[in-house]
């Protein structure tokens, strides 16, 4: 089970505040180290936890039709600048013998995102967790997110989003993937074209 060392976080935040030339003891900042420690405990609660373990109860699959969940909101932290990125996830999986409760898929996303991440790796970790937990023959994960490190620094592209795709099993086949992406796209405005290839896991 992941845990954070709050005392070390508080000491580090106080040092950072002093390093930027401010006074950690002044009224507006006196409680900031504690607040940041609380925040980090929430943002990084998934460190060291296997996302597959978050899926919870499973049930006998009634058929082999794809299960699709759209527009699941998530937030994570970019490991390069420790700035938040947030957006929506679309998940499709083909049941094996078992299906998950709908909340179980959301819990997997929450677990995988609650750690320093790259968006490309996050999608792959979600797909791998669902594949492993459900012995699924096919998983597809599309993430569409806005990054603080893009909107708040450098080029400051406040409206830019990043779309990545991770596929496992039968959904690595372009035709099968295109069909599921079309189903995800029905009623959703944040899904890429069917021709999008899996995003490489390159750092920014």
Tell me which residues are annotated as active site: 78-81, 119, 147, 149
Furthest-apart CA atoms within the chain: distance in Å: 62
Q: Which of 88, 68, 53 is nearest to 162 (CA)?
A: 88
Q: Are 171 and 138 in contact (CB under 8 A)?
A: yes
Dihedral of CA 138/109/119/47: which sign? negative
Q: How many CB atoms lie within 10 A of CB 2?
A: 13
Instruction: Tell how far CA 200 is from the center of its chain.
Output: 16
Q: Distance of CA 5 to CAs 20, 37, 86, 110, Å?
A: 23, 8, 25, 21
């Amino acid at each position: 089970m992941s845990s954070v060392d709050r005392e070390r976080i508080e000491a580090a935040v106080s040092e950072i505040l002093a390093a930027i030339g401010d006074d950690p003891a002044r009224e507006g900042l006196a409680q900031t180290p504690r607040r940041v420690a609380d925040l980090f405990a929430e943002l990084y609660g998934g460190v060291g936890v296997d996302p597959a373990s978050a899926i919870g109860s499973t049930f006998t699959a009634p058929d082999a039709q794809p299960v699709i969940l759209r527009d699941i909101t998530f937030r994570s932290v970019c490991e390069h600048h420790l700035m938040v990125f947030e957006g929506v996830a679309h998940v499709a999986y083909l049941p094996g013998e078992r299906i998950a409760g709908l909340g179980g898929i959301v819990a997997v996303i929450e677990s995988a995102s609650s750690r320093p991440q790259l968006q490309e790796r996050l999608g792959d970790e979600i797909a791998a967790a669902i594949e492993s937990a459900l012995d699924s023959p096919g998983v597809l994960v599309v993430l569409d997110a806005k990054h603080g490190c893009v909107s708040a620094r450098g080029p400051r592209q406040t409206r830019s989003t990043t779309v990545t795709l991770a596929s496992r099993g039968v959904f690595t086949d372009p035709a099968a993937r295109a069909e599921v992406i079309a189903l995800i796209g029905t009623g959703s405005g944040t899904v890429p074209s069917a021709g999008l290839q899996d995003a490489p896991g390159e750092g920014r």
